[in-house]
Structure 1
Amino acid sequence: MAPNQAARGVRARARQAMRAEVAATVQDLVLERGYEETTVDDICTAAEISRSTFFRYFPSKEDALFGETAEAGEHLRDALAARPAGEAPWVAMRRALDTLIEGYEAHDERTRRLTRLIVNTPSLAARHREKNARWQELLRPEIARRLGADPADGSDPRAHAVIAAALGCVEAALTAWTSDARPQALATLLDHAMGAFARVE
């Protein structure tokens, strides 16, 4: 590896580590104080950074709270593309969602609390829906291919319908997961939600 490439790699890892650290700080604060009650100045004080440093990494408090979830769309797209070529679109979507579900369940109670906060805070719920809209565009080409459709054909609603329904099932599963003190596993809840449309093997 060339020296310049190595240096860029080190800087990228340092930036990613800083973003993760600030995101964790934001999450800690909003779980302790509430989202509206937590200010950027509070975050900067807790993370021991300046406001200019904060805004170098995140354009807003909302973006910091969501942390690295923006990259989850790319991971989901890659997982979907890696599914067997002949797998039905609905089944491929469910299996590709395994990586997303595992991420939610990795930090069980903390993630449930954060998810409950997002679901119950209008501005955060709206941002969550915006994220899903971006995922629609990321996933559309692969779902269209599996349907034998042209992803550029805006008159064919099928790919959009499959993705919207699957992500709607994720939303329903997350809502159920955060509403019960002793919930079923999130993967089981998602199977139940998606099973209302079609059998997932």
Structure 2
Amino acid sequence: MATSLRTSGDAGPRPPALRDRMRQAMRAEVAEVAIRLFAEQGFDGTTVDRIAAEAGLSRASLFRHFGTKEDIVLGHLEGYGHALAEALAARPEGEPPWKALRRAFDVIIRDEEESPERTLKLLRMLCETPSLRARHWEKQLHWQTLLVPEVSRRLGVDPADAQDPRAHALVGAALACLDAAGAAWLACDGATPVSVLLDRAMETLAA
């Protein structure tokens, strides 16, 4: 995160630096190019060189912004982890952890329902591409490490206590519900809002 000097009259955080905004815009543009090519040619049938050429970048420049081919599609999930942790921490004190997790997931649900066609394309690629599924799972494991401390605090347990499985179980189950809702949403081709499907999944485990 960019930092900058403040005067005593400054109020609130400054907007992202120009370089950061340009970098974010470039990453989003490359991702859109890649998703289009993957939809046309398949993930495995699309080379990194082709993506770079279509985006007007060199191969080296592409890899400076994306660690792997999979990250071109899934790189935005890294930011979701921190956004989820912030949303969870902002939930009302005393709210049950399961309910707090559900409401924190609105961070993701809003984005998915604002651009359903794009999200459905991503979900189809995930289902069809083992390497994408594996990378997605790695990123969700990172989300879990970010969410467990706050859930532990709400449960009144020590997050460092490896012998207490409760916080990990709650977060893991909630993320499984998120995945199940996404799979159901894809199966119905977006006909039922993903928020409704997530509510159904999480209410089943809460019953």
TM-score (norm 1): 0.92
CA–CA distance in structure 2, aligned partners of residues 181 and 58 of structure 1:
29
**Residue equivalent to 2:100:** 92
Equivalences for residues 73-84 of structure 1 within 5 A: 73-84=81-92
Equivalences for residues 1-201 of structure 1 within 5 A: 9-181=17-189, 183-198=191-206
Displacement after TM superposition at 1:49 (Å): 0.7
Please, which runs of 5 or more residues in structure 1 have no aligned partner? none
CA–CA distance in structure 2, aligned partners of residues 67 and 130 of structure 1:
12
Displacement after TM superposition at 1:182 (Å): 5.2
> 1:77-105, CA deviations, whole angstroms, 9 ceiling, x for partnerless residues?
00000000100000000011111111111
Which amino acid in the other structure matches residue 129 of structure 1?
W
Report percent identity of matched pairs: 49
Displacement after TM superposition at 1:111 (Å): 1.1
Residue 20 of structure 1: SS of its match in structure 2? helix
Residue 197 of structure 1: SS of its match in structure 2? helix
CA–CA distance in structure 1, aligned partners of residues 98 and 169 of structure 2:
11
Moved more, 15-24 or 154-163: 15-24
Superposition RMSD in Å: 1.7
Which amino acid in the other structure matches residue 23 of structure 2?
R
Which amino acid in the other structure matches residue 162 of structure 1?
L
**C-alpha contact (below 8 Å) 1:176/1:189 kept by paired residues:** yes
Count of equivalent residues: 196
**Residue equivalent to 2:9:** none
Pair 87,127 (structure 1): closer, same or farther in 2 beyond 3 Å: same
Which amino acid in the other structure matches residue 105 of structure 2?
L
TM-score (norm 2): 0.90
CA–CA distance in structure 2, aligned partners of residues 166 and 36 of structure 1:
31
Which amino acid in the other structure matches residue 78 of structure 1?
E
**C-alpha contact (below 8 Å) 1:31/1:114 kept by paired residues:** no
Which has a greater percent of helix? 1
CA–CA distance in structure 1, aligned partners of residues 104 and 190 of structure 2:
26
Residue 85 of structure 1: SS of its match in structure 2? coil
Pair 139,182 (structure 1): closer, same or farther in 2 beyond 3 Å: closer
